[in-house]
Amino acid sequence: MRDQTLETTPAATGRERPAFLPTDVDPTVFDEGFLRQLERLQVLMKAPVRGGLKGGRRSVKRGQSVEFADFRDYALGDDLRLLDWNVLARLEKLFIKLYVEEEDVTIHFLLDASASMGIGTPSKLLFAKRAAAALGYIGLASEDRIAVTGLAGRAGRRQVALRGSGRVFRLLAALSGIQAADGQTDLVAAVRHAGAQLKGRGVIVLLSDLLDPAADKVIRELAATGSELIVLHLLSPEELDPQIEGDLRLVDSETGDGVDVTIDLATLDDYKRRLEAWREGFADLAAKRRATYVALSTDMPLAELVFAELRRRRVLG
């Protein structure tokens, strides 16, 4: 698979915006109008967060903002501007108004870069990069921190966390550097390596075809980190609806092992039943672990993924 090439061209507003070779990435990905639509969205979280810097998230702490949260008794040294004068007039007692603190979180994108992710038209890895680029830009525009990790071999190669929409070029460069592995990938080991680098509670977005015998263990371990887990399960149209028949030799993309098979209509029907049961198993596991599971085909247009499917699944809002 030939990877993305990053360039910059002047935007109509005078700012620079990223542009990709049209054969590699849908040219609408970072069109000026598409960017503006992305900026209206936010990656949703199910619970308040405890971040490190001021951002756009509801926090478990109390601070100063425009959203009222609660009262507490006045203590010597409190800011008198926070006194509720209406309560003082009614009850003759001093109370301080508390507001919801807004903080940032880190959204960790874990991209499966195993050999099988290089398969498909477009490839599953290329689709994962497109999705991560769009979701990452949404996070940057929301003042969240963004970190990208490629999962290959037995390691998760994590990039420095980015914050602020001006860091979009570094986000795209990080994604461009992820390529499908040549040999075998131990997805569990790679996820453990990546998980050891996670700090604090945030959002983990796993983009993978889950073609690993221990893929269920991957979901369990990521869900156990305490972060909110979103699993984007990517399969190509060729995998979802194979257009093959006759006597064939199927070869494993990672090990090179082959098996001789005879494909007819009954075989394809059985394959599709097993495929559906396999995906339903992941959906059930994710639900039990309070994670979000989204099964996707890599021929889905990016705009449909972002503005329809992920909003319907409450990943974006």
Q: Which of 56, 66, 110, 61 is nearest to 234 (CA)?
A: 110
pLDDT in tens, 221-280: 999 998 999 999 999 999 999 999 999 998 888 888 999 999 999 999 999 999 999 999
By the 8 A CB rule, do 236 and 253 touch? no
pLDDT at 18: 43
Q: Which residue has the higher pLDDT, 19 or 281?
A: 281
Q: How far apart are CA 110 and CA 207, in angstroms?
A: 6
Exposed/middle/buried for residue 1 (C-beta within 10 Å: 0-12, 13-18, 19+): middle
What is the sign of the dihedral through the CA atoms of 202, 208, 210 and 214? negative
188: its two tokens: 């569990």
Q: Does 1 or 137 have the greater pLDDT score?
A: 137
| Domains located in the chain, CATH noted | 6-45+104-312 (3.40.50.410), 59-103 (no CATH)
In angstroms, rounded to a whole number, what is the distance separating the alpha carbons of residues 113 and 208? 8
Measured distance CA(164)–CA(132) in Å, rounded:
16
pLDDT at 100 over 90: no
Contact 296, 233 (CB under 8 A): yes
pLDDT in tens, 151-178: 999 888 887 788 888 888 889 888 988 9
Dihedral, CA of residue 269, residue 271, residue 273 and residue 278, to nearest 10? -170
**Each residue of 107-155: pLDDT tens digit?**
999 999 999 999 998 899 999 999 999 999 999 998 899 999 999 998 8
